[in-house]
Amino acid sequence: GEDSRSFHVSIQAPLSIVSIGEAYSVTAVAGGQLILECPEDAVPPPHIEWHRESSPLQEDARRQLLAGGRFLQIQALGAADGGEYSCRATNALGDTSLRVQVEVHG
């Protein structure tokens, strides 16, 4: 018999991302936009929370959560947007978290 599988991998990252242990470092350009992903495909779908510098992230005109919180989009980046961002995904089976250190140059 024969068995075949196909996989589609999509990577959207015009940014430099460097892994540092469990944290990632992202360098972005001032005035541009940044999209951070909380890579979680758990079943059941998790509840996702985003934090910036340990405080719950507040959405506003420039910072929006997309796809149920899986993505954090920041527009019109400025130096003040730099810092540590983290996401935590939680469901009945447990939780996982990811930290991203963002640097804005410009």
For 44-97, the pLDDT digits (tens) are: 888 999 999 989 999 999 999 999 999 999 999 999 999 999 998 888 888 888
Q: Report d(CA 53, CA 34) in Å as an integer.
A: 17
User: Could you tell me if residue 36 is inside a domain?
Assistant: yes
Under the banding of pLDDT at 50, 70 and 90, the label for residue 31 is very high
Q: Which residues constitute the domain of residue 68?
A: 15-104
User: Could you tell me if residue 46 is inside a domain?
Assistant: yes
pLDDT, average across residues 18-26:
65
Yes or no: say if 98 and 51 are a contact pair by the CB < 8 Å rule. Answer: no
Q: Report d(CA 17, CA 86) in Å as an integer.
A: 15
pLDDT attached to residue 25: 87
The predicted model scores a pTM of: 0.75
The residue with greater pLDDT, 25 or 41, is: 25
Q: Report d(CA 97, CA 89) in Å as an integer.
A: 6
Q: Please count the structural domains in the chain.
A: 1
Under the banding of pLDDT at 50, 70 and 90, the label for residue 8 is low
Q: Report d(CA 7, CA 11) in Å as an integer.
A: 13
Q: Report d(CA 91, CA 103) in Å as an integer.
A: 30
pLDDT attached to residue 84: 94
76 HSE (CA, 13 A, CB side)? 5
- The CATH number of the domain holding residue 74 is 2.60.40.10
- Is the pLDDT at 9 greater than 70? The verdict is no
Which DSSP symbol is given to 44? S
pLDDT attached to residue 6: 62
Q: Could you give the 3-state DSSP secondary structure of residue 5? A: coil
